[in-house]
Amino acid sequence: MTKGQTSTMTGAQMVVQALRDQGVDTVFGYPGGAVLPIYDAIFQQNEIKHVLVRHEQGAVHAAEGYARATGKPGVALVTSGPGATNAVTGLTDALMDSIPIIVLTGQVPTFMIGSDAFQEADTVGITRPCTKHNWLVKETDKLSGVLHEAFHVATSGRPGPVLVDIPKDVQFATGEYTKKTANKSRYQPKLKGDIDAITDLVKAIEKAKRPVFYTGGGVINSGPAASQLLRELVDATGFPITSTLMGLGAYPASGDQWIGMLGMHGLYEANMAMHDCDLMINIGARFDDRITGRLDAFSPRSKKAHIDIDASSINKVIRVDIPILGDVGHVLEDLLKVWKSRGRVTDRENVAKWWKEINTWRKIDCLGFKNSTKTIKPQYALQRLEALTKDMDRYICTEVGQHQMWAAQYLGFEAPNRWMTSGGLGTMGYGFPASIGVQMGHPDALVINVAGEASWLMNMQELGTAMQYRLPVKQFILNNERLGMVRQWQELLHGERYSQSWSEALPDFVKLAEAFGAKGILCSDPADLDDAIMEMIRHPGPVLFDCLVEKHENCFPMIPSGKAHNEMLLGEASTKDAIDADGAVMV
Amino acid sequence: MSPLKIKKGSSSHSAYNLRDPNAEVIERHTLAVVVENEPGVLARVIGLFSGRGYNIESLTVAEIDHKGHSSRITIVTTGTAHIIEQIRAQLGRIIPVHEVHDLTVEGAAVERELGLFKVAGEGEKRVEALRLADIFRANVVDTTLKSFVFEITGTPEKIDAFAELMRPLGLEEVARTGVAALSRGSVSES
Ligand SMILES: Cc1cc2nc3c(=O)[nH]c(=O)nc-3n(C[C@H](O)[C@H](O)[C@H](O)COP(=O)(O)OP(=O)(O)OC[C@H]3O[C@@H](n4cnc5c(N)ncnc54)[C@H](O)[C@@H]3O)c2cc1C
Ligand SMILES: Cc1ncc(C[n+]2csc(CCOP(=O)(O)OP(=O)(O)O)c2C)c(N)n1
């Protein structure tokens, strides 16, 4: 080892040093007995900010929000036992959505492991299935190497959460600290795609009569350059593009070729295009069941290409004709090169016909809804929020439920990393702490969490965090006094038996805000909405916006259970006989 | 909106496709997985199989390179071709997994397992057990006046067959190692 690469320090100091070397400026955490040495080391420095959350789940979601909004890994620090178990939901959420985060947990001293010591939990055992990788570090000399490797694993290939469990004696002991550059990891995922497969895709692009780009979270994961290349490819080919919930913003919503989100609550034109296309180009999406619907009816006549960095995503759900293993950015770069060198060919005539067809689907106006002058329709609330904020430096988070789907439908995203939502796990309680993480990463931006009242209550304690750090996050609660998404399913599938799906004994949200020293705004009249939203935006601190909306609104379009893409339910359409008996088992 | 007429308890299919779309021919494959010899690596592999509902027919593990910190896990699994492909890809995602080989598709391979059989009996049965053991080239590794412990090496099928024959002759206990497997020929040849 070269001189100057190592130095002696305690394990706790190593943690802080490694974070510094990795360029970390913010840590979300909560102290406890097993991490006190690390907290002591944090106390004695000023470079890394520590945000004290109110619950460890909040710390992990905040780290996720921070990561998604900044493109840098998020870091959370929690204690052993209950601190670690409280982190499990956030870890699983990050695993499902491929978010790079590093969670550091304290552990009982090595010589007490296995003795049912106070606040002992088998943290690496519990989190093995919900992390990309995890480590229990038993020697201080190995700590810095593991920490650097943890950052490498979390951020390379398909990103994901990692966890490092550090026993208290390892934090106290002194050892050799090794710099980031000193060790080369074995883990080196392949970034460049096979050029023959890429050429096959180019040939398919040249011949396609009814092509569609189906893009996903992988484009966001690949970084802003990938979004740029995607835009170039889409614009140059003139093909239509749709995206999953996780990929919104990679291609701008204002772009001419944007046909909206696809899937269960996606747009009619997007789903029809997927169903009727002859070439589907999947870029960084994983054929989730919210997208495919009934598998044997999924896009039956198309040739399918799939660009993904994770070999297990390819052919997992849908068999594809042109698999390309690699990073979106790298593959798109080569794809563009090959396509250009072969003369930039597309079947313009047929693609123009295809657009005509798509434009007739667009005319259906599937997001149309019956507005009201008496009650605020949730769709209207979001339309107004969009109109009043779209030109601002804006980041949107959501909770989970109907409001999440409406936000995806009615808000437009022009750039990647501006949309933070829990897609794969669907974690109610994600949005509020995530908005705190986003605001930490972008202190001057407008950060809005579009929430349902039930989801918001799941991590409402974080209002204390927002106040303490003066984070002006806007909590835009579409309050229907219902577990709306559950109620919708019960209405459609369970004979209107509304079992436990209403929000009773709700707090007075304005008073709740005030109890924390925040601002509360109540709005129930559509005529007041614009002013109220502007008041929320202008307020320099955290705002709890209680927007009382129509209680029984359903979220459409919707692909009913057990149906194919071209059998979609539309807003005002009759749902009579739309879902057959077998569909009721779906969740 | 009026609710839909839903027949209760129906679950034949849904958007989750409750019918297994991969219900095709079940194949048996032997996978060789070379892993970093670190704590928890076996738990990761086993957890993958249980968590994703894959089958394990047999699993063996031992260190193969002390200096290089690597171990070899040999797994015999069953599933459709599609599931086997997923298993390979999922194993490949585990960070300390260095190599995954599907010996069943990568050409000819030798598979061996070791079994220990305790057989107790007297008179004719005892003689017959010894005679059969001889035919199977099993070794006697322990003996008392009333019992033998046989050691047998071979393919899992051979060991199965031996077990069947020993059962009526006083088979008391069986211990099997599970399969160890290598591809035939030199690595550099292929
Ligand atoms: C109530 C609710 C309703 C929902 N309804 C819908 C809906 O109507 N429509 C919808 O789209 N979603 C919906 N979702 C979300 C859905 O569950 C999935 O989370 C989402 O569809 C998955 O998005 P994705 O396919 O882009 O995959 P992601 O989960 O974002 O996965 C990304 C893929 O890209 C790959 N990848 C990662 N990095 C790279 C890289 N650098 N290069 C190449 N590949 C990479 C990964 O391996 C992975 O396969 C809903 C969720 C909820 C909670
Ligand atoms: C932690 C968690 N528990 C349960 C669910 C199931 N679930 C999905 S949506 C939903 C209702 C959400 O209600 P609300 O936050 O008020 O949003 P709305 O649908 O009314 O917009 C529930 C209970 C979930 N997604 N997450």
Burial B8-17 (b: 16+ CB within 10 A, else e): eeeeebbbbb
The 3 state secondary structure assigned to A405-462 is HHHHHHCCCCCCCCEECCCCCCCCCCHHHHHHHHHHHCCCCEEEEEEEHHHHHHCHHH
Chain B residues inside the 8 Å CB shell of A295? 17, 21
Per-residue pLDDT at A4: 64
Rounded to two decimals, the ipTM of the complex is 0.91
Confidence (pLDDT) at B4: 52
Measure the N-to-C terminal CA separation of chain B; round to a whole number of Å: 66
Nearest to A289 among B16, B85, B96 (CB): B16
Is the predicted pLDDT of residue B133 greater than 90, yes or no?
Answer: yes
Ligand 1 lined by A313 (C-beta under 6 Å): yes
Asked if B15 lies within 8 A of A562 by C-beta distance, the reply is yes
Find the helix packing angle between A195-207 and A328-341, rounded to 10°: 60
CA distance A213 to A346: 14
Question: A316 Cβ partners below 8 Å, 6+ apart?
Answer: A286, A287, B86, B89
Question: Rounded to the nearest 5°, which phi and psi values hold at A23?
Answer: 80, 20
pLDDT, average across residues B125-139: 97
Contact criterion met (CB below 8 Å) for A220 and A243: no
Binning pLDDT at 50, 70 and 90, where does residue B9 land?
low
The reported pLDDT for the residue numbered B7 is 55
Q: Does A428 sit in the ligand 1 pocket, CB within 6 Å?
A: no
Relative to the CA of A244, which ligand 1 atom is closest? Answer: 11
Considering only residues A223 and B11, tell me which one the structure prediction assigns the higher pLDDT: A223
Does residue A414 contact residue A394 with C-beta atoms inside 8 Å? no
A69 to A15, A207, A418, A433: CA distances (angstroms): 24, 38, 6, 13
Residue B59's beta-bridge partner residues?
B75
pLDDT for position A563: 76
For residue A263 and ligand 1, the question of a CB distance below 6 A is answered with: yes
Six token digits for residue A507: 């707090």
pLDDT digit string, tens, across residues A189-219:
999 999 999 999 999 999 999 999 999 999 9
Nearest to B3 among A315, A496, A581 (CB): A496
Structure tokens at B189: 């040849």
Tell me the β-bridge partners of A304: A280
Burial group, residue A36, by CB count within 10 angstroms (0-12, 13-18, 19+): middle
The residue written with tokens 């589907």 in the block is A280
CB of A128 within 8 Å of a chain B CB? The answer is yes
Q: How far is CA A164 from CA A7, A47, A146, A161, in A?
A: 21, 22, 8, 10
CB A378 within 8 A of CB A553: yes
Distance, in Å, from the CA atom of A206 to the CA atom of A305, rounded to the nearest integer, reads 14
Segment (H or E) for B29: strand B27-36
pLDDT per position as a tens digit, A434-468? 999 999 999 999 999 999 999 999 999 999 999 99
Contacts of A310 in chain B (CB under 8 A): 89, 93
Cα separation, A290 vs A82, whole angstroms: 33
Residue A352: predicted pLDDT: 98
Tokens found for residue A150 = 């943890």
pLDDT on residue A581: 46
Distance CA A571, CA A554 (A): 8
For B1, which of A311, A554, A583 is closest by C-beta distance? A554
> In sequence order, what E strands does A20-143 have?
26-29, 49-52, 74-78, 101-107, 133-136
Contact state of A310 with B93 under an 8 Å Cβ cutoff: yes
Whole-number pLDDT of residue A586: 44
Neighbour count for residue B141 (Cβ, 10 Å): 11
Find out whether the beta carbon of A266 lies less than 6 Å from any atom of ligand 1.
Answer: yes
Write down the pLDDT at residue A473.
Answer: 98
User: Which among A425, A440, A397, A400 is positioned nearest to A53, based on CA atoms?
Assistant: A440
What local confidence, expressed as pLDDT, does residue A181 receive?
A: 75
- As a 3-state breakdown, chain A gives helix, strand, coil percent values, each rounded to 5, of 45, 20, 40
Q: State the pairing for strand pair A161-167/A303-308.
A: unpaired
- Nearest-CA distance B27 → chain A (Å): 18
Count, in order, helices (H) and strands (E) of chain A. Answer: 23, 20
Can you give the pLDDT of all 587 residues of chain A as single tens digits? 444 678 999 999 999 999 999 999 999 999 999 999 999 999 999 999 999 999 999 999 999 999 999 999 999 999 999 999 999 999 999 999 999 999 999 999 999 999 999 999 999 999 999 999 999 999 999 999 999 999 999 999 999 999 999 999 999 999 999 998 766 899 999 999 999 999 999 999 999 999 999 999 999 999 999 999 999 999 999 999 999 999 999 999 999 999 999 999 999 999 999 999 999 999 999 999 999 988 888 999 999 999 999 999 999 999 999 999 999 999 999 999 999 999 999 999 999 999 999 999 999 999 999 999 999 999 999 999 999 999 999 999 999 999 999 999 999 999 999 999 999 999 999 999 999 999 999 999 999 999 999 999 999 999 999 999 999 999 999 999 999 999 999 998 889 999 999 999 999 999 999 999 999 999 999 999 999 999 999 999 999 999 999 999 999 999 876 677 777 888 764 344 444 444 444 44
The residues near A402 (Cβ < 8 Å, ≥ 6 apart) are: A378, A452, A478, A480, A484, A485, A488, A553, A554, A555
DSSP one-letter code for B150: E
Q: What is the 3-state secondary structure (H, E, C) of A97-129?
A: HCCCEEEEEEECCHHHCCCCCCCCCCHHHHHHH
Residues of A forming the active site: 56, 118-119, 168, 485
Block residue for tokens 């918001």? A456
Whether residue B4 and residue A554 make contact (CB cut-off 8 A), yes or no, is: no
Stretch 134-153 of chain B: residues touching chain A, C-beta under 8 Å:
none
A392-430 residues labelled b (16+ CB within 10 A) or e (exposed): eebbbbbbbbbbbbbbbbbbebeebbbbbbbbbbbbbbb
- Locate all alpha helices (DSSP H) within A174-247, ordered by sequence: 195-207, 217-222, 224-237
Shortest-distance Cα residue to atom 3 of ligand 2: A428
Can you read off the two tokens belonging to residue A270?
Answer: 């997007």
